[in-house]
């Protein structure tokens, strides 16, 4: 009161602002933000973090997510819900699960119970999630209308542990005829494996991870699935484990392990030294809580992540909403020149439908000290997709700069001798909202021939770089004060060949 020069509550009540305040049960969802992505999923309003509960059924992709419908910072955790027929255009649905007497509705997963093992009927959608209040428990909800509305299971919680555990993720093990669940034993930095005949009664079978991989932060949002190694009939299991903090460039990130799973126990592969290596799915700052859809067609393993970082997610320069999802990605395995098997994350095939006009094309060009400069499309604040092949020949390094008229720049640097691609956003635009935002991230390129192929998606507040069909990926937020308008390629210490350059505008969504 005293800071406003008010001596009594009566004087405050006379202020004009009170007459302008109105109660409403609706929210104006017209977009008022220059940095809202044009082709990434975002909530209409409010806060969003982890994707969860995702499944595919009857031609529809269901995306649930951690959601606060009452403000643009973390709180009141519920499951928001969006659906898509094409992984591009998303339709917002009513909130699927809200806070109840057991607490916040934290992350989890959903499956189509095609055999009705849980007793809710054939093809019921069954979700497991973490209820969080004074402690964390695993609870169940089910849907008989295809995932639009859910009912809580009367016997909740279905699983309780004495220590903190969260983010259940389950799948049907056809060989063993039972459900398997991965659960993050968060503070113990390990993943627990349970089995169940009916999604209700769970038996602990094993644990993996203590002392392995990145251990600096809380482990959460696990996922487990099997993939083939490219060009072979070999199959390996992939265990995803997100952690915060402890990422390679600070804050949150997604690590994974390659190995084998016998229905009860996960055994990780080791490297040439006999150690379990730490591997990262994405080498940018803004890729977290990545998990896959269940029930995907044609045995696809399609994932999506939260495109932010816990270091500054609540401080980015948006107000009506906070956070977007990454572009959806299809996963595969490949063997790199070092003999190790790694996870590839390629843009989902559906994303080619984003392409509008071919704004720029160059079959061949040569870059040296004098850069090759290409114009980016001006429509929709410069959003676009860029494809180009780089042959560094004898060059020491190659600079690929994305710039605007304000002098802001995203600098990509390919070092063929070190087999790395660096992403420098220190001068990319707005950055003062967090000391942790200005950063240089570095991705291994997993090649040995001084050649890389890049596919770059530029949206209004993000850049995703996919290299060599997803063999390496770097996802980073950017907040340019003006749209990026030019792409420049400069070669240092020798010439560089550029080929197959195509720049597409993006269709309005």
For 172-203, the three-class secondary structure string (H helix, E strand, C coil) is EECCCCEEEEEEEEHHHCEEEEEEECCCCCCE
Strand, coil or helix: 25: coil
Cα 391 from Cα 435, distance rounded (Å): 36
Cα 15 from Cα 256, distance rounded (Å): 57
Annotated active-site residue in 14, 25, 28, 50: 50
**Which segments of 398-462 does DSSP mark as H helices, in order?**
none
Q: Is 26 exposed, middle or buried (0-12, 13-18, 19+ CB in 10 A)?
A: exposed
Q: Are 478 and 404 in contact (CB under 8 A)?
A: no
Q: Clarify whether 262 is annotated catalytic.
A: no
Q: Which of 492, 499, 394, 395 is nearest to 454 (CA)?
A: 499
Of how many residues is the chain composed?
Answer: 509
Cα 409 from Cα 371, distance rounded (Å): 15
**Phi then psi for 356, rounded to 5 degrees?**
-105, -120
- Written as one string, the DSSP assignment of 210-250 is TT-S--SSEEEEEEEEEEEBTTSS-EEEEEEEEEES--TTS
Residues carrying an active site annotation: 50
């Amino acid at each position: 009161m005293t800071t406003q020069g008010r001596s009594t509550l009566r004087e405050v009540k006379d202020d004009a602002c009170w007459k302008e305040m109105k109660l409403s049960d609706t929210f104006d969802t017209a977009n008022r933000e220059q940095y809202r992505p044009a082709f990434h999923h975002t909530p209409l309003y409010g806060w969003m973090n982890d994707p969860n509960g995702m499944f595919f059924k009857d031609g529809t992709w269901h995306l649930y997510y951690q959601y606060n419908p009452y403000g643009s910072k973390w709180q009141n955790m519920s499951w928001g819900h969006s659906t898509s027929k094409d992984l591009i255009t998303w339709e917002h649905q009513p909130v699927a699960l809200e806070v109840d007497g057991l607490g916040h509705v934290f992350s989890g997963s959903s499956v189509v119970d095609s055999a009705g093992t849980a007793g809710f009927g054939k093809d019921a959608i069954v979700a497991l999630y973490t209820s969080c209040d004074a402690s964390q428990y695993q609870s169940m909800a089910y849907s008989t209308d295809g995932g639009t509305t859910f009912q809580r299971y009367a016997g909740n919680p279905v699983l309780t542990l004495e220590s903190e555990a969260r983010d259940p993720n389950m799948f049907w093990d056809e060989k063993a005829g039972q459900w398997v669940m991965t659960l993050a034993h968060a503070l113990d930095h390990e993943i627990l494996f349970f089995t169940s005949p009916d999604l209700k009664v769970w038996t602990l079978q094993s644990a993996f991870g203590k002392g392995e991989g990145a251990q600096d932060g809380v482990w959460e949002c696990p996922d487990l699935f099997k993939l083939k190694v490219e060009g072979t009939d070999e199959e390996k299991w992939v265990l995803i484990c997100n952690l915060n903090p402890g990422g390679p460039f600070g804050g949150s990130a997604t690590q994974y392990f390659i190995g084998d799973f016998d229905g009860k126990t996960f055994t990780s592969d080791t490297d040439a030294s006999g150690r379990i290596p730490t591997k990262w799915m994405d080498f940018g700052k803004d890729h977290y809580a990545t998990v896959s859809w269940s029930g995907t067609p044609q045995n696809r393993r399609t994932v999506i992540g939260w495109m932010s970082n816990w270091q500054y997610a609540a401080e980015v320069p948006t107000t009506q909403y906070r956070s977007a999802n990454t572009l959806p990605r299809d996963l595969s395995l490949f063997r790199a020149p070092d003999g190790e098997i790694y996870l590839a994350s390629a843009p989902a095939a559906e994303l080619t439908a984003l392409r509008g006009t071919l704004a720029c094309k160059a079959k061949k060009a040569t870059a040296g000290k004098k850069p090759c400069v290409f114009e980016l499309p001006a429509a929709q604040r410069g959003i676009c997709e860029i494809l180009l092949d780089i042959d560094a020949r004898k060059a020491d390094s190659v600079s690929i700069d994305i710039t605007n008229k304000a002098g802001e720049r995203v600098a990509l640097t390919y070092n063929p001798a070190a087999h790395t691609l660096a992403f420098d956003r220190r001068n990319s635009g707005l950055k003062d909202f967090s000391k942790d935002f200005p950063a240089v991230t570095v991705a291994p390129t997993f090649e040995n021939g001084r050649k890389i192929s890049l596919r770059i998606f530029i949206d209004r507040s993000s850049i995703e770089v996919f290299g060599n069909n997803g063999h390496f990926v770097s996802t980073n937020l950017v907040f340019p004060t003006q749209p990026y308008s030019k792409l420049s390629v400069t070669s240092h210490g020798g010439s560089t060949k550029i080929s197959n350059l195509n720049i597409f505008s993006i269709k309005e969504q």
